[in-house]
């Protein structure tokens, strides 16, 4: 009986205008998303390589390693073409220093105005906005629409089990919605290598997981729609109620959660942190000057050489003490800001996850590795590279000062050779393995599964008690 109901449901849906419209819209948008994403990746890659080459070119001809301005860049991520996440909104350039805190800056690549317009037309957008609406369109009148047309009573004039009927309704709508989705996605996947997007096995697995998350997501709105069709008497009422739910889930809740979190947890800005650093540095400088004056009064004598040497030793000790205090203060400031930022983020995400749209977006960006962890991972890689870069620069300074030699009682230095940029340590950024991405996405995937289970159970139980008259 289930197979008969499923076959009937598929035949009825596939022959409708809404199926044709869904297929057409999905095909156009998905293929356009794949094409624009691939073109965006090509432009980003070209500009990234040009930025790296320009950075190397600026250092050529220099003779002093201490005068170079070395930068590292975050390479474009292949899956960012389909799930942009925060990849377009983080700093991708880091100016390297031998020591000190590193900061990401805005990159000069991937800023083509044309692609900036289309950057949000990706799979995440299509699933979150378009397919959720089509899921509502497929399921809002699944039961009450049949009752209004008089076909529900005719169907149950025969010995049809209610559980198999509602199950066939849900599965049939689900399968009918997957068809216009998967065909253009498969065509788009074939386009990616042709359009120059390097997709290894890890990337394909990540993309498959993103699609699975998307299927779970629109399944939430489909089962919710069927549930509403059993809960409300008229199809127009269920459609209006579903549209209100959609507006809250897709538009209001994710954005409101950010505002609420921002109001509840105050995180100091970067400018405030810089001001506190400057104020404390000025305080330390005044303390140092006061200590130097006291030392000079206490150790004043006619032997200027001895006094000069003693002052130099004392100044070095004071500088070391000042650096230690400053480093401790900066670490405390950064730790406090990081803790408050993590707390605010946690509050925002917890509130946002009331909406399945937020859960899907977070899961998709985690799987594609275009989430907030992308910046953290990039900064960690930059910090690890800084240690290697610092050791390299120290060795070059030793080599440079080793060129000093004495001629006729005078200190001279040999003319240094032009630097060889090939000696620079190479920065390499590698994505974490897919196992970590799946682990990070499990809570949100679990929430999507839970939403599906709740609404499916609601529709199932409600229809068992549904008045067929």
* Residue 168 domain-assigned (yes or no): yes
pLDDT grade, residue 178 (50/70/90)?
very high
Same domain, 96 and 163: yes
Mean pLDDT of 157-185: 89
* Residue 406 domain-assigned (yes or no): no
pLDDT digits 0-9 by tens, 64-75: 777 788 888 888
* Residue 414 domain-assigned (yes or no): no
Same domain, 367 and 328: no
Same domain, 365 and 338: no
Q: Is the pLDDT of residue 315 over 90?
A: no
pLDDT grade, residue 207 (50/70/90)?
very high
Q: How far apart are CA 271 and CA 329, in angstroms?
A: 16
Which range of 327-336, 337-346, 454-463 scores highest in mean pLDDT? It is 454-463
Q: Which range is least confidently modeled, 6-20, 211-225, 310-324? A: 310-324
Give the other-Cβ count within 10 Å of 88's Cβ. Answer: 18
Q: Is the pLDDT of residue 197 over 70?
A: yes
Q: Which range is least confidently modeled, 66-75, 183-192, 210-219, 389-398? A: 389-398
What pLDDT is attached to residue 99?
Answer: 62
Domain that holds residue 361: 2-264+354-397+420-464
Q: How far apart are CA 127 and CA 140, in angstroms?
A: 18
pLDDT grade, residue 295 (50/70/90)?
confident
Mean pLDDT of 248-262: 88
Query: Of the candidates 304, 322, 345, which is a domain's last residue?
Result: 345
Q: How far apart are CA 176 and CA 163, in angstroms?
A: 20
Q: How far apart are CA 90 and CA 103, in angstroms?
A: 11
What pLDDT is attached to residue 304?
Answer: 67
Mean pLDDT of 142-159: 85
Same domain, 191 and 109: yes
Q: What percent of the chain has pLDDT over 70?
A: 90
Same domain, 260 and 274: no
Q: Are 370 and 85 in contact (CB under 8 A)?
A: yes
Query: Of the candidates 313, 345, 377, which is a domain's last residue?
Result: 345
Q: Is the pLDDT of residue 417 over 60?
A: yes
What pLDDT is attached to residue 212?
Answer: 95
Local structure of 172: helix, strand or coil: helix
Q: Is the pLDDT of residue 306 over 70?
A: yes
* Residue 407 domain-assigned (yes or no): no
Same domain, 95 and 118: yes
- Crossing angle for the helix pair 253-264 and 304-352, nearest 10 degrees? 140
Local structure of 406: helix, strand or coil: strand
**Residues 392, 396, 397, 403, Cα dihedral to 10°:** 160
Q: How far apart are CA 61 and CA 421, in angstroms?
A: 10
How far CA 109 is from CA of 69, 83, 195, 262, 367, in Å, comes to: 18, 18, 19, 31, 24
What pLDDT is attached to residue 443?
Answer: 94
pLDDT grade, residue 407 (50/70/90)?
very low
Query: Of the candidates 314, 345, 376, which is a domain's last residue?
Result: 345
Return the bridge partners of 450, or none.
none
* Residue 249 domain-assigned (yes or no): yes
Same domain, 157 and 213: yes
Q: Which of 315, 319, 299 is nearest to 307 (CA)?
A: 299
* Residue 202 domain-assigned (yes or no): yes
Which helix H or strand E contains 71, and what residues bound it?
A: strand 71-73
pLDDT grade, residue 120 (50/70/90)?
low
DSSP string, 296-353: HHHS--S-HHHHHHHHHHHHHHHHHHHHHHHHHHHHHHHHHHHHHHHHHHHHHHHHHT
Q: Is the pLDDT of residue 111 over 70?
A: no
Q: Which of 360, 352, 356 is nearest to 211 (CA)?
A: 360
Same domain, 123 and 193: yes
pLDDT greater at residue 204 or residue 288: 204
pLDDT grade, residue 397 (50/70/90)?
low
Q: Is the pLDDT of residue 454 over 90?
A: yes
Residue with tokens 């999905």: 26
Same domain, 43 and 99: yes
pLDDT grade, residue 405 (50/70/90)?
very low
* Residue 125 domain-assigned (yes or no): yes
Q: How far apart are CA 86 and CA 209, in angstroms?
A: 19
Same domain, 217 and 338: no
Q: What percent of the chain has pLDDT over 90?
A: 31
Total domains in the fold of the chain: 2
Same domain, 90 and 202: yes
Same domain, 316 and 206: no
Q: Are 455 and 223 in contact (CB under 8 A)?
A: yes
What average pLDDT is seen over the chain?
A: 84
What pLDDT is attached to residue 457?
Answer: 94
pTM of the model: 0.81
What pLDDT is attached to residue 159?
Answer: 82
* Residue 341 domain-assigned (yes or no): yes
What pLDDT is attached to residue 303?
Answer: 66
How many residues make up the chain in this entry? 469
């Amino acid at each position: 009986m289930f197979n008969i109901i499923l076959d009937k449901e598929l035949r009825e849906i596939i022959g409708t205008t809404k199926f044709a419209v869904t297929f057409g819209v999905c095909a156009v948008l998905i293929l356009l998303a794949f094409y624009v994403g691939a073109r965006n990746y090509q432009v980003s890659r070209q500009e990234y390589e040009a930025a790296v080459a320009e950075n190397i070119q600026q250092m050529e001809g220099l003779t002093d390693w201490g005068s170079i301005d070395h930068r590292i860049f975050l390479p474009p991520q292949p899956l960012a073409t389909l799930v942009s996440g925060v990849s377009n909104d983080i700093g991708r350039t880091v100016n390297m220093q031998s020591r000190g805190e590193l900061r990401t800056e805005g990159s000069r690549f991937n800023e083509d105005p044309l692609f900036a317009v289309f950057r949000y037309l990706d799979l995440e957008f299509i699933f979150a906005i378009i397919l959720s609406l089509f899921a509502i369109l497929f399921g809002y009148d699944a039961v009450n629409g049949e009752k209004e047309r008089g076909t529900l009573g005719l169907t149950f004039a025969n010995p049809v089990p209610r559980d198999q009927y509602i199950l066939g309704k849900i599965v049939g709508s689900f399968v009918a919605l997957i068809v216009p989705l998967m065909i253009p996605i498969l065509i788009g996947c074939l386009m990616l290598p042709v359009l120059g997007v390097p997709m290894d096995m890890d990337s394909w697995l990540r993309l498959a997981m993103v699609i699975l998350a998307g299927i779970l997501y629109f399944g939430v709105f489909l089962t919710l729609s069927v549930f509403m069709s059993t809960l409300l008497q008229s199809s127009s009422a269920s459609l209006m109620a579903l549209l209100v739910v959609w507006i809250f889930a897709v538009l209001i809740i994710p954005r409101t959660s950010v505002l609420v979190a921002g109001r509840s947890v105050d995180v100091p800005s970067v400018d405030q942190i810089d001001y506190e650093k400057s104020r404390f540095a000025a305080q330390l400088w005044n303390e140092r000057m006061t200590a130097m004056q006291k030392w000079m009064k206490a150790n004043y004598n006619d032997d200027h050489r001895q006094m000069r040497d003693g002052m130099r030793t004392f100044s070095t000790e004071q500088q070391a003490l000042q650096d230690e205090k400053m480093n401790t203060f900066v670490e405390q400031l950064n730790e406090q800001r990081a803790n408050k930022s993590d707390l605010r983020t946690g509050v925002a995400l917890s509130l946002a996850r009331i909406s399945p749209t937020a859960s899907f977006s977070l899961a998709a960006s985690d799987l594609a590795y275009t989430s907030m962890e992308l910046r953290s991972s990039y900064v960690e890689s930059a910090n690890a590279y800084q240690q290697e870069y610092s050791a390299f620069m120290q060795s070059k300074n030793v080599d440079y000062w080793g060129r000093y030699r004495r001629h006729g009682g005078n200190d001279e230095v040999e003319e240094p050779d032009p630097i060889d940029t090939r000696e620079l340590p190479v920065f390499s950024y590698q994505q974490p393995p897919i196992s970590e991405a799946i682990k990070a996405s499990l809570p949100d995937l679990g929430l999507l599964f839970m939403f599906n289970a709740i609404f499916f159970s609601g529709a199932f139980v409600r229809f068992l008690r549904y008045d067929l008259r």
